[in-house]
A = this chain, B = another copy of it.
């Protein structure tokens, strides 16, 4: 086999998720992931630093996309509408990836260390969103509160979207979750 394997990165990620689901994350080795993907360990380490990185590979790109959409929302948009634009943008990334997302979530939920990593990722996303809002001229504490509200919608909307019986696209679930958040905070 040549040095460059077609879609090695994607094949390794798919093989890893399968094995984490079948045997558990802790019990799976990089050698097994490479073998399942029909690739070498060396190829694995050309793409990922370790078996944990396979799961968090897209996190940085996702945060950047979310922040970029908030930053580029029309100047006239209210902070919560800039966040809504960000939710629309990230939802597009998940089109066609519901089953993958379900598998990934099941692996994360089963492992305390991975859950910690996920919480840190989400906290970093919230900080990034608050920063983007401040750069739009939103004062504190409005910027942090709006960012946290956006992240609440993302977290709860994501859980709804990966539920067994759910068939709506993520963008729609996020819009409805944001509407619901507005409703519950307005009802007091």
Contacts and interface: CB of A to CB of B under 8 A. Distances in A.
A141 B160 contact: yes
A106 interface: no
Contact of A182 (B79, B148, B156, B186): B186
A110 interface: no
Nearest to A77: B188
Given A116-B119, A119-B116, A148-B156, A78 B187 contact: yes
Nearest to A152: B148
Contact of A144 (B142, B159, B183): B159
A146 B184 contact: yes
A124 to B, nearest CB: 10
Given A141-B156, A186-B186, A181 B149 contact: yes
A80 B156 contact: no
A152 B83 CA distance: 15
A135 to B, nearest CB: 16
A151 B181 CA distance: 13
Contacts of A187: 78-80
Interface in A115-145: 115-116, 119-120, 123, 141-142, 144-145
A149 B184 contact: yes
Given A144-B156, A156-B144, A160-B141, A184 B79 contact: yes
Interface of A: 78-81, 84, 115-116, 119-120, 123, 141-142, 144-146, 148-149, 151-153, 155-157, 159-160, 177, 180-188
